[in-house]
């Protein structure tokens, strides 16, 4: 389905409830398998979470997790630690071209039995679960935090726990801390000092019900809408915590540059554009929150603000090469943009071309990041249903706040 977004005016003052965080939900589902005493409230309804749930409950030997990168990483470690079970873990064509060797090598070092079914270093994988023979492992700290979290999640179920030594510079620390915080919440002893993480073994936990906070990455698209709208525009989003586990909650500070004020009220955030945006170049290191880079870049373009974004090296191996995809699609709209393997430089823009067809590359964040531009100009989002990967009700919620939409096919 392709979607025409007509130039729209924000319907100010709406209340939107956003599904639970995909990042928290997927971590908790793995922990729930290891410790069934855990109950989960406000679980994400994203495709990624649905795929993960299916894989965890399926009796089939072969499991297909589609585009769900988090599921691929977490399930690789989980199935490898399940003695006596064999699984073949597959995904989409893109997933079969996303590297996983760093995680597989770490699991091999622990004693795991994992084979590459087709191409060395990439899914699909044949995993024969066994008890690990070792309890210490080293892994580069500047890789996707999902590799590290995959190890952390299984660590308390291992006979001797796990000690992880992170080599070199560490990126995406908030996501590592999210995993550790969830472990702490269910009573597992975990310690993170400098470059070493130590997880103690735990045979059983007490009964816990954990409420999943709404997804901050999903909130980013409403921040962008408010930033691109007129002064005094406002939206309320539920359910969010001021003390969040999610690294993307830095949105609240970043979007002050665009005149957006965030007010926390109980379990909601109230977004209001109180001032015009700043004209100076926005300079950010997003190594701890790379998933909001696309949203920020599009916001800057829509407002005619230049930006230099760095710390984006993990975007090369997402659903698509997000840096090249951003460059291609923003250039269509009239942007002057350049990218490297880990950064993006966008110059001040003077115009936005209308009725441009935005390709989404099987990437949910490409569709959602560009959608707020409908406040400025009509655009067409190709393969619009890709948003269900993380935000199933995205288009319905955008329609609720006044974004006019028409299906093209």
Residue 291 designated active-site: yes
Helix (H, G, I), strand (E, B) or coil at 391: coil
| DSSP letters spanning 66-94 | TT-HHHHHHHHHHHHTSTT-EEEEE--TT
Burial state string for 313-352 with b = 16 or more CB within 10 A and e = fewer than 16: bbbebbbbbbbebbbebbeebebebebeebbbebbebeeb
Helix (H, G, I), strand (E, B) or coil at 268: strand
Sheet bearing 260-265, strands edge to edge: 14-17, 234-238, 268-273, 260-265
Burial state string for 366-381 with b = 16 or more CB within 10 A and e = fewer than 16: bbbbbbbbbbbbbbbb
Helix (H, G, I), strand (E, B) or coil at 150: helix
Cβ-contact 325, 333 below 8 angstroms: no
Enumerate helices (H) and strands (E) in the chain, giving the number of each: 12, 22
Catalytic residue among 48, 215, 248, 291, which? 291
CA dist., res. 226 & res. 271, Å (int):
7
Cβ-contact 339, 325 below 8 angstroms: no
Residues marked active site are found at 291
């Amino acid at each position: 389905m392709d979607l025409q977004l007509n130039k729209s005016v924000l319907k100010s003052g709406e209340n939107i409830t956003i599904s639970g965080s995909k990042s928290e939900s997927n971590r908790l589902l793995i922990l729930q398998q290891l410790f069934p005493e855990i109950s989960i409230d406000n679980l994400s309804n994203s495709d990624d979470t649905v795929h993960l749930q299916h894989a965890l409950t399926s009796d089939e030997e072969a499991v297909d997790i589609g585009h769900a990168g988090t599921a691929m990483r977490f399930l690789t470690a989980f199935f490898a630690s399940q003695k006596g079970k064999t699984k073949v873990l597959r995904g989409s064509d893109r997933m079969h071209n996303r590297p996983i060797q760093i995680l597989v090598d770490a699991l091999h070092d622990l004693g795991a039995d994992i084979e590459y079914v087709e191409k060395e270093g990439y899914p699909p994988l044949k995993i024969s679960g066994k008890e690990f023979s070792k309890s210490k492992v080293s892994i580069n700290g500047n890789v996707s935090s999902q590799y590290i979290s995959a190890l952390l999640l299984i660590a308390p179920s291992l006979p001797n726990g796990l000690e992880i030594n992170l080599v070199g510079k560490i990126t995406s620390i908030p996501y590592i801390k999210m995993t550790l915080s969830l472990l702490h919440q269910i009573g597992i002893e975990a310690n993170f000092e400098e470059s070493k993480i130590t997880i103690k073994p735990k045979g059983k936990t007490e009964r816990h019900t954990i409420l999943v906070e709404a997804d901050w990455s999903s909130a980013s698209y409403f921040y962008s809408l408010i930033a691109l709208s007129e002064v005094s525009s406002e939206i309320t989003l539920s359910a969010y915590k001021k003390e969040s586990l999610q690294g993307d909650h830095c949105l609240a500070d970043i979007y002050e540059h665009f005149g957006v004020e965030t007010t926390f009220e109980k379990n909601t955030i109230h977004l209001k554009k109180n001032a015009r945006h700043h004209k100076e170049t926005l300079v950010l290191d997003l190594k701890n929150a790379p998933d909001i880079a696309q949203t920020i870049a599009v916001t800057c373009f829509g407002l005619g603000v230049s930006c230099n974004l760095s710390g984006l090296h993990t975007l090369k191996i997402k659903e698509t090469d997000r840096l090249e995809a951003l460059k291609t699609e923003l250039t269509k709209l009239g942007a002057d943009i350049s990218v490297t393997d880990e950064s993006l430089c966008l110059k001040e823009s003077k115009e936005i071309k209308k009725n441009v067809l935005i390709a989404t590359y099987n990437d949910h964040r490409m569709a959602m990041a560009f959608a707020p531009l409908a406040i400025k100009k009509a655009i067409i989002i190709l393969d619009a249903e890709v948003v269900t990967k993380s935000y199933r009700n995205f288009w319905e919620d955008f329609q609720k706040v006044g974004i006019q939409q028409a299906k093209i096919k």
